[in-house]
Amino acid sequence: MDPLAAIKVTFFQECEEQLAELEAGLLAMEGGDHDPEIVNAVFRAVHSIKGGAGAFSLEELVRFSHVFETALDRIRSGAIEADQEAIKLLLRSADVLADHVRAARDGGTVDVGRSQAMAEALAALADGDGAGAAEEEDTGDGFGDFEFQPVAFDMGETVAEPAPSATTFKVRFYPQAALYQKANESGLLLRELTRLGEVSVELDASGLPMLAELNPEDAYLGWTVSVTGEALTETAVREVFEWVDGDCYLDIIKDGADAQPAPGPDVSVDAMGGEVDVLALIRAAQEAEIAPPPAPVLTASVPEPAKQKEQALDAKAQATAREASPQTIRVDLERVDRLIDLVGELVINQAMLAQRVAECGLQRASSVAVGLDDLEHLTREIQDSVMAIRAQPVKSVFQRFPRLVREIAAMTGKEVRLIMDGENTEVDKTVIERLSDPLTHMIRNAIDHGLESPEDRVAAGKPREGVVRLAALHRSGRIVIEISDDGRGINRARVKQIAVDKGLIAPEANLSDEEIDNLIFMAGFSTAATVSDISGRGVGMDVVRRSIQSLGGRINISSRPGQGSTFTLSLPLTLAVLDGMVVTVAGQTLVAPLTAIIESLQPKAADVKSLGPNAHVIAIRDSHVPLIDIGRSLGYRTVTPPPTEGVALLVEGEGGARAALMVDAIQGQRQVVIKSLEANYRPVPGIAAATILGDGRVALILDIDAVMVPKPLSAGVAASTTPSGTDAARPAPTSDLPLAMAG
Amino acid sequence: MTESNLPQAGERMELISFRIGDQEFCVNIMSVREIRGWTPATPLPQSPGFVKGVINLRGAVLPIVDLAARMGLAMTETSERHVIIVTRIGDQQVGLLVDAVCDIITIGSDAVQQTPDVACETVKTFVKGLLALEGRMISLISLEYVLPELRVEATGAELAA
Amino acid sequence: MTKTILTVDDSRTMRDMLHLALSEAGFRVVQAVDGLDGLDALDAAQADVIITDINMPRMDGFGFIEGVRANEKHRATPILVLTTESDVAKKQRAREAGATGWIVKPFNPEKLIDAIRRVAA
């Protein structure tokens, strides 16, 4: 890629980061944080965007960010105060800035009216300090030499350039010590002059003291230089000295003009202080103010360097007190994915190798076996490290929500406050990306349907402002994300009625509160009478649940009428590996996630009890848990063997419920690489995913929560056991897969 | 989206033909990724009868469809002599269980005849046309419906209630 | 002998652009992300010229320039300020801190090289 194009890509990536910083900072300010560092950071974010935008000539973006930056500069310098009103304006401006950035990046357009209005509001805010004058501050201490004037415009103005023939300027240049202190070199300056034309130089060493008194850091020399060039202008000559003006005596006379009077610090008005890039000059011209004629005497204003140093040190102390940001590098995601795939293969290979070696009958203590053990440890470590590479804080998903909430609140006329917790909780990147849509949908739902209007809330004795809370945390080896609102909760009567109307449940079905709440996840369910623009579009909670399930996760809802609802998502930490227990059931090899297994035990006949016509329970210590033949649940067999002949795995599901799963035998524990079933097929009830074992065969990974349910998952057919030519399976009551068959 | 399984007018198309029982079929060679011998598949619970299970294809999990069963013929009794044709359908890979691979055929669009009306619905779903070649009748199959409802993560449009 | 330039800017875009312009002109470029980082890199970089931004987190350009000048070895290292700011007071402050020169962004690569030549042999 053309390097400049690559940098442009970088720029837009950086813009996104800056926009995020900007929003975070503004939100902090809105929350009452008065730390000046935050205001500075906010300023820098916009400043940075403007800088880069200028480099790529992104006009609109530069214009808007400039106005924004100006207002922020005023705030950070204390000239104006940032009250809640102002901060709200700044937040909205940040949204518009983001629109500009994206329009610049993707070639779209921005709502011009809104942008214009925002710009005007920002300008008004910036002027609110009553100064009302132009944007740049006037130091007023006579340092007109720093005044910024567009050389391009001044070409004809300052010095009349009579004939474009050879022009000679006589330059008298007497540097002061300060010039050298800033690492300017007379020699280099004089060399610059030689670039302008023919030069003859006269040294004036009359100021040199005796050697003994010579201070090497002081300036004693002066030069008179005659420079002759075609179409040479005074401006060009002066430009050579643009940075040292003020640190030297400089006298430039066109040959033929009257000699200037006695040397004095005569500073010319049109000394430049800046870049000669014309575009930049034009832009800067718009910013700069014309300076009043400078006083002939240079009075140095004391910059209080001591104070500045103090401030710099303070900032440093604060910075180190703050969390030190770790060193990072950017890596192409494809490379990471490839690496993860390779590590996955490595794990499988290592397992296969271990198996083959074991089959060879080598002694456990033989050097080969020991070496293999080491290999396994290493492989595991590599795998952990590689997995960690892809782990990212959920912040990247969460950070778009404040804006979303603002917009939806505005659209629905509700007042909403968003609280976010646990943004630094880390999750595998692949999981994160697929979280965005479901979370967006649920937040929209919460505000649109969950929260009441401000009036209703007040009438109900609640505060006007509704609260939506988004939290992420790790819990028992999984990621848990909660979305809760303090709105009206689920209207159970209505939900039940709708389910009945849509034929999803029987009218006389007796459902618990929780079961009613979870009806909203059923396919074909949608409570919105009108498909609202916000949370409608025919996308229901069933799609959300499917998305979560395809991530290997689970979603639940709990609700309290009048008080609000909470959605709880539970997701695996990483999509890629799992510590599992390999078991045999009805001749099939399955893997049970170790995190769900509490213990394994050999059932004793006395402990196994019947419950009702079909169910069994097993007594474990002082409680009874359901005993489930997963061989039957999965349709591998129709007759359950005696529990005493097998092994029971005591497992615990998401909600804390427990069950004992009957298996024929335990083969061992192994870390397995998770392979998706959905990639090439689709979700299978009772099965979370697949893996490839050491013998190269595919083994299925159990979905513990699904198999824990004591009723059989399906009265239908398993491919291997029933020699049926039918190509339809009766959909299970709990299955949400529409198995529509052709033919 | 599936690649077109029918040659456009004037185009030539390459096909792989294979045998199931005493019938011969063919598919667009562009859909075929590889051909392998039979390996035992891990059965999938709750799956339709024509889904034999899944196998390991170099680290990916590949579902195997018994094409005979899928088309309403008798289910295949698998043996090592059987063949799996690994096909790409949309963005998924699916293995088709067949008896044997026969030939690679190149045809022009004019060679495809319409499927006669005597065919039952099942056939009509899969068979898009017939080829007559050297005295054989070869049914041209479209793979789109081999695995129904592949996409479960639906967009709103698909799941509009 | 190849000259080394230490560039100090918190914007990755700007660092990349500077790197592109300067390395194409034959300079060796060392990058720092803010004032503190710049001071850390100072001795190791052995820069012939320093180019720095003003607005940076942790330590801004002014603090950085003062820090450089306070370092014995770098009292005579030319420091060019490269920034979008053209504010008079800021320029003055930079000068007083010890800056050698001032260039306004967006920069023209040729002018940038010119400016460097003006302060380094």
Report helix, strand or coil for A501.
helix
Rounded to whole angstroms, the Cα distance separating A460 from A443 reads 22
Indicate the residue of A13, A139, A305 with minimum beta-carbon distance to C88: A139
Rounded to whole angstroms, the Cα distance separating A49 from A97 reads 9
Rounded to whole angstroms, the Cα distance separating A519 from A513 reads 10
Exposure string for B46-62, b = 16+ CB within 10 A, e = fewer: bbbbbbbbbbbbeebbb
Report domain extents, chain A.
3-139, 166-300, 333-392, 394-572, 577-742
| Chain C hits for A54, Cβ within 8 Å | 84, 105-106
Indicate the residue of C16, C93, C104 with minimum beta-carbon distance to A274: C104
Which whole number is the average pLDDT over B43-54?
89
Strands (E), A231-284: 248-254
Q: For B123, name the nearest residue in chain A, comparing CA atoms only.
A: A743
Q: Where are the alpha helices (DSSP H) in A479-559?
A: 492-501, 513-517, 541-550
Exposure string for C9-35, b = 16+ CB within 10 A, e = fewer: bbbbbbbbbbbbbbeebebbbbbbbbb
Classify residue B18 as left (phi > 0), alpha (psi -120 to 50) or beta.
Answer: beta
A-C contacts at Cβ under 8 angstroms: 176
| Chain C hits for A316, Cβ within 8 Å | 36, 58-59, 63
Instruction: State residue A168's pLDDT score.
Output: 82
Instruction: Give me the architecture of the A394-572 domain, per CATH.
Output: 2-Layer Sandwich (3.30)
Neighbours of A725 (CB within 10 A): 14
Q: Are C63 and A44 a contacting pair at CB < 8 A?
A: no
Neighbours of A697 (CB within 10 A): 16
Which of the following CATH numbers is that of domain A166-300: 3.30.70, 3.10.530, 1.10.10, 2.20.28?
Answer: 3.30.70
CA angle A616, A618, A622 (to 5 degrees): 140
Q: Who's near A113: CB < 8 A, 6+ residues apart?
A: none
Fold classified for A577-742: SH3 type barrels. (2.30.30)
| Chain B hits for A680, Cβ within 8 Å | 60-63, 92-94
* Alpha-carbon separation of residue C57 from A48, A315, C60 (angstroms): 11, 9, 6
Instruction: State residue A101's pLDDT score.
Output: 92
Using a pLDDT cut of 90, give the percent of chain B over it: 23
Strands (E), A406-553: 416-421, 426-428, 466-475, 478-485
Neighbours of chain B (3+ CB pairs under 8 A): A
What does A43-108 look like in DSSP terms, one character per residue?
A: HHHHHHHHHHHHHTT-HHHHHHHHHHHHHHHHHHTTSS---HHHHHHHHHHHHHHHHHHHHHHHT-
**Interface ipTM:** 0.84
Rounded to whole angstroms, the Cα distance separating A692 from A705 reads 22
Shortest CA gap B134–chain A (Å): 31
Spatial contact of C97 and C65, defined as CB atoms under 8 Å apart = yes
Spatial contact of A596 and A704, defined as CB atoms under 8 Å apart = yes
Residues in chain A: 743
**Mean per-residue pLDDT pooled into runs of 10, chain A (743 residues):** 80 90 90 85 90 86 90 86 85 91 87 87 76 39 33 35 64 80 78 80 78 76 82 79 78 63 35 39 45 36 41 45 57 79 78 77 75 83 78 84 88 89 82 84 87 90 91 80 91 84 79 80 62 47 77 82 90 71 93 87 88 82 87 88 90 79 90 79 85 86 83 39 33 31 28
Residues in chain B: 161
Q: Who's near B155: CB < 8 A, 6+ residues apart?
A: A539, A543
C76 touches chain A (CB under 8 A): yes
Q: Are C92 and A146 a contacting pair at CB < 8 A?
A: yes
Specify the pTM. 0.44
| Chain B hits for A440, Cβ within 8 Å | none
| Chain A hits for B84, Cβ within 8 Å | none
Fold classified for A3-139: Four Helix Bundle (Hemerythrin (Met), subunit A) (1.20.120)
Rounded to whole angstroms, the Cα distance separating A433 from A394 reads 9
Common-topology check for domains A3-139 and A577-742 = no
Count Cβ atoms within 10 A of the Cβ of residue A285 and give its class: 0-12 exposed, 13-18 middle, 19 or more buried. Answer: middle
Spatial contact of A445 and A545, defined as CB atoms under 8 Å apart = no
A678 touches chain B (CB under 8 A): yes
Q: Who's near A276: CB < 8 A, 6+ residues apart?
A: A151, A239, C108, C111
Q: Higher model confidence: residue B68 or residue A532? A: B68
- Lowest mean pLDDT of A78-92, B140-154, C15-29, name the range: B140-154
Instruction: State residue A267's pLDDT score.
Output: 32
Rounded to whole angstroms, the Cα distance separating A210 from B130 reads 111
* Both structure tokens of A640: 């359950």
Indicate the residue of B43, B55, B74 with minimum beta-carbon distance to A718: B43
Instruction: State residue B119's pLDDT score.
Output: 65
Tens of pLDDT, residues C79-112:
999 887 777 778 888 888 888 888 888 778 888 8
Q: Where are the alpha helices (DSSP H) in chain C?
A: 12-24, 35-45, 61-70, 88-97, 109-119
Q: Higher model confidence: residue A331 or residue B31? A: B31
* Touching, A vs C (3+ Cβ pairs under 8 A): yes
Rounded to whole angstroms, the Cα distance separating A689 from A701 reads 5
Radius of gyration of chain B measured on its C-alpha atoms? 16
